[in-house]
């Protein structure tokens, strides 16, 4: 069964603490992720997604804001980990 999940940029941001909204470990996060990073990871994993310009409630004062609505069959934690690994792979592939 396909579910719709809301994924915030802050889930993947190394500059934030877990209390401020980071949901992945330090070895999977990236510095200042962008909407484009998540959209690219979604297209790489063949996921249907839609970007929205919304502010994360815990860090409403930060400039980098965004929300992605993603359709995924499985658990949200699995989705977040897949996206984090894909974004990390892109980041290191571009710096080499």
Strand order in the sheet with 3-8: 3-8, 67-72, 48-52
Exposure of 28 in the CB half-sphere (CA atoms within 13 A): 16
DSSP 49: E
Mean pLDDT of the chain: 90
The string of pLDDT tens digits covering residues 28-41 is 999 888 899 999 99
Domain spanning 3-95: CATH 3.30.56.30: yes
Q: Which has more confidence, 90 or 91?
A: 90
Question: Which token pair is 95?
Answer: 């710096």
pTM summary value = 0.88
Q: What's residue 32's pLDDT?
A: 85
Domain boundary assignment for the chain: 3-95
């Amino acid at each position: 069964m396909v579910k719709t999940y809301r994924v915030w940029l802050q889930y993947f941001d190394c500059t934030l603490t877990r209390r401020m909204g980071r949901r992945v470990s330090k070895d999977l996060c990236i510095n200042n992720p962008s909407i484009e990073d998540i959209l690219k990871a979604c297209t790489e994993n063949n996921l249907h997604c839609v970007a929205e310009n919304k502010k994360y409630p815990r860090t409403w004062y930060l400039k980098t804001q965004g929300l992605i609505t993603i359709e995924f069959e499985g658990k949200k934690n699995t989705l977040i980990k897949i996206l984090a690994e894909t974004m990390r792979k892109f980041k290191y592939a571009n710096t080499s």
